[in-house]
Chains A and B, each alone.
Chain A
Amino acid sequence: MIKDLFTATVIIGIISSGIRLATPYLYAAIGEMFGQRSGVLNLGVEGQMLLGAFVAYFVVLRTESLLLAILAAIGVGALMGLAMGFVTIQLQATQGIAGIGFYLFGMGMSNLLFQKLIGVVENIDGFSAIKIPLLGDIPVIGEIFFRQNLLVYLAFLLVPLAWFVLNKTTLGLKIRAVGENPEAADSLGVNVALVRYFTVTLGGILSSIAGASLSVALLNVFQQNMTAGQGFIAVALVYFGSWRPFGILAGALLFSMVNALQLWIQVLGIPIPSELAVMLPYILTILVLTLSLTKGKGPSALTKAFEREG
């Protein structure tokens, strides 16, 4: 039975499922990483995802424009991010609690809007798969990597881009400085509040796109609470990836592929209880987190509010 897992169909299936499942995690976790690297923990990711998912879906339903849908998701995400920034940076509210507040707001609001504006579950035509010329024709690899939809490609391109911004630009340096030692950054003339507003807003936008990637690209449907905790997994992935884009990529892929693997284990009838199978990705995550805890050290000023002296 176990040997059934090592066929081309299964391996291609696991990797391509893993890539699709990892897409929303990548957007949301990379966004969250920028916030955390500057010292802001945002637990409201799930709510931002749900609102983004709803808004993008609604725009496609009414206008059939995917471009407008993404722009709307960006707009809503930016607003949610700015609001989170206002509460935690300006008013210096406790970040964890504020984030949970925004999570509940996003969930409630997306439920309410769905109920009032749509009411029934409907399919839409979202982003379709784009086969990349030449690369898409490569056997196996083409099928896995180069026949996905646009938002999947962008999610994976986001990883090196985030790495570059964080490590090779002045902006990245400022973000890291603000997250490690805001007082020192401030004394060197860095506007701590501005940098944090930027990262939290960016985080809001990316979380919102993460939601949209579900509702208008991967699933083409909206249902209340459809993110099912993915926003919280994304926050965990930031820790898992030790606050580094490629670490997050590895974590997102590992989690998603083990999830895909457990589906195959059940489909192939390998005699493992389903309860145990669905636990697999979580068990593995906890294991890796525990083992990597020694080397992963978060930004020193994470969750600490900054108030300028004088």
Chain B
Amino acid sequence: MKNTIKLFSLLLITVLLVAGCTQAAPPVEEPEVSDQPLRVAIVTPSSMNDLAFSQSISDAMQALQKEMGEGKLEYVYSENMFVVDDAAAAIRSYAQQGFDIILAHGSQYGSSVQEIAPDFPNTVFAWGTTVDTFDMPNVHAYEAASDEGGFVNGVMAALLTETKVIGVVGPIETGDAKLYIDGFAAGVKSVDPEIDVRVTYIGSFSDVALAAEAATTHLSAGADVLTGSAQMVIGAIGKAKEAGAYWFGTQADQTSFAHDVVVASQVYHWEVLLREIFALRQSGVLGGETFAATLDNGGQVIKINPDLDLGQDVLDEAERVIQGIIDQTISIP
């Protein structure tokens, strides 16, 4: 009897698994014909609605699809690809399915792109955030000059702090997050070198609880303004909100999450760069370029929460610094 149950269950599991796999397996596409829409596949390390890095590319694709029309641009994505091996499998699978452009949206995907791109010479690979195209004819690299927005946020933070202590919650000391945080600290110091900018890196992009505890630690140590980078900062924003401390965001507009305390967010508009990548493909250039989202080209924008009363002098100063960075009268150390 027991064996019968066992056998039956195993059979059931097998059937379910097979059914599941059949459904999950993507259909094999016919080779592209010229009047077909542009087909883009995206691989991201976190979820597309993380209010941070992955959301920024999702927002960009939505904007482009609206602009070009759904018939002209199709896109699919694999999100939560924390595991690089899984991401590599997804990238290869999209290439095999004949997608025109594959966006590997995570600096950890570099080696995967380097390995896969030569096998698909007619596919455009773009990866970020980085500047390295591996000298391959079908690989573009893109990055955000997040130190620019960080600098502007830092200037505003310096004008708003009363305790002269500012806390920063970062993930791992590398890449986009480090660039933003270094820019932020430089912005604060440009206003008042006496202000104490304290930085914690929690060693994780996903540990919301530790990010929250890092924020609490900053607040107990006297900080009244906080900022941070990467998707786990929602834990930190929550604590800023509870304590009524100002928060500065990056990567996506975080105002909706804590309306009362989010002063400004540095928002990426990757669509500015993606438009160029699409246009280059039209003219037959599949790779080799490096792109940067800057305040100047509109690839990043400082979005200030209109409902907070910050005082006109803070807004004016932010505007002056943004303009200064654009016409290069202000340089970020």
> Could you tell me which A residues sit within 8 Å of B by CB distance?
9-10, 12-13, 17, 20-21, 24, 90-92, 111, 114-115, 119-123, 214, 218-221, 223-226, 228-230, 259-260, 263-264, 266-269, 274-275, 277-279
Contacts and interface: CB of A to CB of B under 8 A. Distances in A.
B218 interface: yes
Contact of B238 (A17, A119, A221): A221
B163 interface: no
A119 B212 CA distance: 22
A225 B47 CA distance: 9
Contacts of B49: 115, 119-121
Interface stretch (B122-130, B136-144, B200-208): B200-208
Q: Which 6 A-B pairs have the closest CB atoms?
A: A278-B203, A274-B201, A228-B207, A266-B200, A228-B206, A224-B47
B265 interface: no
A269 B198 contact: yes
B51 A121 contact: yes
B46 A224 contact: yes
A280 to B, nearest CB: 10
Contact of A264 (B202, B210, B217, B235): B217
A224 B221 CA distance: 30
A274 B6 CA distance: 51
Nearest to A92: B6
B46 to A, nearest CB: 7
Nearest to B213: A17
A40 to B, nearest CB: 18
Interface in B196-228: 198-204, 206-210, 212-214, 216-218, 220-221
B258 interface: yes
Contacts of B220: 9, 12-13
Contacts of B10: 91
Given A228-B207, A266-B199, A266-B201, A17 B50 contact: no
B276 to A, nearest CB: 30
Given A17-B217, A91-B6, A214 B50 contact: no
A267 B221 contact: yes
A259 B212 CA distance: 12
Contacts of A9: 220-221
Q: Is the interface of A mostly helix, strand, loop or mixed?
A: helix
A5 to B, nearest CB: 11
Interface string B180-203: 000000000000000000111111
A111 B213 contact: no
Contacts of A115: 47, 49
Given A226-B209, A260-B213, A277-B201, 4 more contacts: A119-B49, A229-B207, A274-B203, A279-B203
B209 A225 contact: no
A21 B213 contact: yes
Contacts of A122: 257
Contact of A219 (B50, B172, B238): B238
A46 B209 CA distance: 14
Which size class do B's interface residues fall under? 35 or more
Contacts of B9: 91
B216 A17 contact: yes
Q: Name, among A111, A115, A263, the residue most crowded by chain B CB atoms within 10 Å (CB to CB).
A: A263
Nearest to A226: B208
A277 B199 CA distance: 12
A228 B105 CA distance: 21
Q: Which of A121, A221, A279 is the most central at the interface, judged by chain B CB atoms within 10 Å of its CB?
A: A121
A121 B237 CA distance: 12
Given A17-B213, A267-B198, A223 B221 contact: no
A274 to B, nearest CB: 4
A228 B51 contact: no
Contact of A223 (B214, B234, B256): B234
Contacts of B231: 223
Contacts of A226: 206, 208-209
Nearest to A215: B208
B80 A224 contact: yes
Nearest to A264: B217
B167 A267 contact: yes
Given A224-B47, A267-B167, A219 B235 contact: yes
Contact of A123 (B172, B201, B210, B238): B238
B208 to A, nearest CB: 5
B25 interface: no
A229 B9 CA distance: 30
Given A9-B221, A223-B234, A278 B201 contact: yes
B213 A228 contact: no
Contact of A111 (B5, B47, B232): B47
A137 B218 CA distance: 24
A268 B221 contact: yes
Contact of B213 (A229, A259, A278): A259
Given A121-B51, A259-B213, A264-B217, A220 B202 contact: no
Contact of B50 (A12, A223, A260): A223
B203 A221 contact: no
B209 A219 contact: yes
B281 interface: no
A274 B173 contact: yes
B5 A121 contact: no
Contacts of B257: 121-123
